[in-house]
Amino acid sequence: MITQGVKITARCDDCGGVLILDVGQYIDHGQLWWGTEGACTACPNGWCEQDTGGATPDEIRNALLAEHGPAQLHLADDESSLVPVLRVLREILHLPLGQARVMAGALQETGLVGTRVEMELIADKLQRRSVATTIETSTN
């Protein structure tokens, strides 16, 4: 399982105390999941939530990008057919053909940027269709 997480603090809505949040993304059974757990240090406020099938909430994604930096996915071979790339992008991201073509073109030219988990999921699906990729990460 590929996973990436970060702990952040926020203000508790219930009491104004310090809320500790553990947020992240992971891949399980070929799907992107996100999760968040929160617990206040001063009151009983706490929760746990996870989901898949849609976009990761911006606050989780932004926290991961801020802590770990972006990952950039590239095609390993400039001559790769874009047909399997289009299929994968449409399958994973539920994109119409026109948007998938734009993303496939970007992947071929400059690469796609996202969280490490997001790029690993796309890379895995492409590899299953015999499309080789590389992932570069920045170091924070």
CA 10 to CA 17: how far, in whole Å?
A: 8
Is the separation of the CB atoms in 32 and 121 below 8 Å?
yes
More confident residue, 80 or 116: 116
To the question of pTM greater than 0.85 for the whole model, the response is yes
Q: Residue 94: its pLDDT value, please?
A: 87
Topology of domain 71-137, CATH: Ribosomal Protein L30; Chain: A, (3.30.1390)
Q: Residue 140: its pLDDT value, please?
A: 53
Confidence of residue 66 (pLDDT cuts 50, 70, 90): very high
Per-residue pLDDT of 20-62, as tens digits, reads 999 999 999 889 999 999 999 999 999 999 998 678 999 999 9
Q: Give the burial class of 16: count Cβ atoms within 10 A of its Cβ; 0-12 exposed, 13-18 middle, 19 or more buried.
A: exposed
Confidence of residue 81 (pLDDT cuts 50, 70, 90): confident
Q: How far is CA 20 from CA 10, 13, 36, 42, 111, in A?
A: 7, 12, 10, 11, 34
Q: Residue 80: its pLDDT value, please?
A: 74
Is the separation of the CB atoms in 97 and 89 below 8 Å?
no
* Token reading at 4: 């990436």
Per-residue pLDDT of 94-140, as tens digits, reads 889 999 999 999 999 999 999 999 999 999 999 999 999 999 987 55
